[in-house]
Amino acid sequence: MDLTSLYYFSELAKDLHMTRTANRLFISQQTLSNHIQRLEDYYGVRLLHRKPSLSLTTAGEFVLAFAEVMMKEQTNLKDILSDIEQQERGVLRFGASALRLNMCLPAVLPQFSARYPNVDIHITDTITPRLEPLVLDRSLDFAITLNGEEHPKLVTHHLMDDQVYLCVADSLLQSYYGEQAPMLKRKALSGAHVEDFSKLPFCIFDNRMGRQINQCFESANLIPRAYITSTYTQAGITACFQGLAACFCSQANLVSQRDNIPSDINIFPLLYRNEPLSQRLSLIRMKDRYLSHYSKFFLEQLFGYFSDVERTRMERLGQISD
């Protein structure tokens, strides 16, 4: 029995498919099969049912639990020894959606890489429902998630309440509301209701934020006029900045793009049932994961970035005269 065989077995347990696991690990199917056979010979039990398809035996379930503990302790031991020897080497595995990676990494990576040039950073770009399982199976060290329930095996750090804003070009407001536009703008500066902007065409997002926004329309008994519907948030923002439609944008996204926001774009905090609509951003990690010096530094940079973003005020009126 060795750690490599336990590692391969734990990876096979994720897919329960020899070919897929072997391809993912960049080894031959025969090599993978040999490692599983080695474990079965060592423990004197069958770990897998081979037919009708691969599945864990009862013994396999216990060996998998042991393998997961060993992999965790092996990773922790490497980080502890690295800290003791002040090697400042290792691997940091971080996940988030593409949108949030594009926001935070340009602000965090320069300082981190300057301080820890010998730490490899592995980035995973995927949506929230897929991130928590990746942290739980230790494929990721940290992940940024949205509005999740707290898991007993995870530490959940609150990053920020990401306010949602309604963004609309001055020219579009003038086109649809004429002389009413100035009064509407001043009223919405302290909070916008979708019913006050019901004449406008909107960029509608088919994602989690889009579902939250849809609640605003449903509460007002409205069906929005959809100019574009997309899972790609940036497509809607581009259309908005060109004055083609109104869109909704999170504070973190607006802060990351603030140098590119046209001067005639109005930015109003969106209200739902008279309360600001926001998304809760959290960072999750395993409770039993040892935090190396470089991991702590990465988290400090990340927490500082989101703290600065949350303090930034984005409400504004377009600079084109009424």
Alpha helices, DSSP H, located in 192-322: 208-219, 233-241, 251-256, 293-311
pLDDT score at 85: 67
CATH number, domain at 53? 1.10.10.10
- Span 171-189, average pLDDT: 94
Shared domain check, 170 and 74: no
Shared domain check, 8 and 67: yes
Kindly report the backbone phi and psi dihedral angles of residue 158, in degrees, each rounded to the nearest multiple of 5, phi listed first.
Answer: -70, 125
Kindly report the backbone phi and psi dihedral angles of residue 272, in degrees, each rounded to the nearest multiple of 5, phi listed first.
Answer: -130, 115
pTM here is 0.74
CA proximity to 227, closest of 208, 257, 248, 212: 248
Highest mean pLDDT among 19-33, 80-94, 176-190: 176-190
Shared domain check, 27 and 125: no
Q: Which residue in the block uniquely carries the two structure tokens 């973190």?
A: 252
Give me Rg for the CA atoms of the chain: 25
Residue 1 has pLDDT above 70, yes or no: no
Confidence of residue 87 (pLDDT cuts 50, 70, 90): low
CATH number, domain at 197? 3.40.190.10
- pLDDT digits over 204-260, tens only? 988 888 899 999 999 999 999 999 898 888 888 999 999 999 999 999 999 998 889
Shared domain check, 284 and 234: no
Q: Whole domain around residue 108: which residue ranges?
A: 87-160+280-311
Confidence of residue 198 (pLDDT cuts 50, 70, 90): very high
When comparing pLDDT for 26 and 265, which is higher? Answer: 265
Shared domain check, 207 and 75: no
Shared domain check, 206 and 141: no
Query: Distance between CA 234 and CA 232 in Å, rounded?
Result: 6
Query: Distance between CA 177 and CA 317 in Å, rounded?
Result: 16
The dihedral over CA atoms of 297, 298, 304, 310, expressed in degrees to the nearest 10, equals -160
Counting the structural domains of the chain, the total is: 3
- Span 177-201, average pLDDT: 94
Shared domain check, 270 and 166: yes
List beta partners, residue 284. 143, 156
Residue 289 has pLDDT above 60, yes or no: yes
**134 close to 206: Cβ distance less than 8 angstroms:** no
pLDDT score at 321: 45
Residue 297 has pLDDT above 80, yes or no: yes
Shared domain check, 174 and 227: yes
291 in a domain, yes or no? yes
Percent of the chain clearing pLDDT 90 (strictly above): 53
Dihedral sign from CA coordinates of 127, 130, 132, 134 = negative
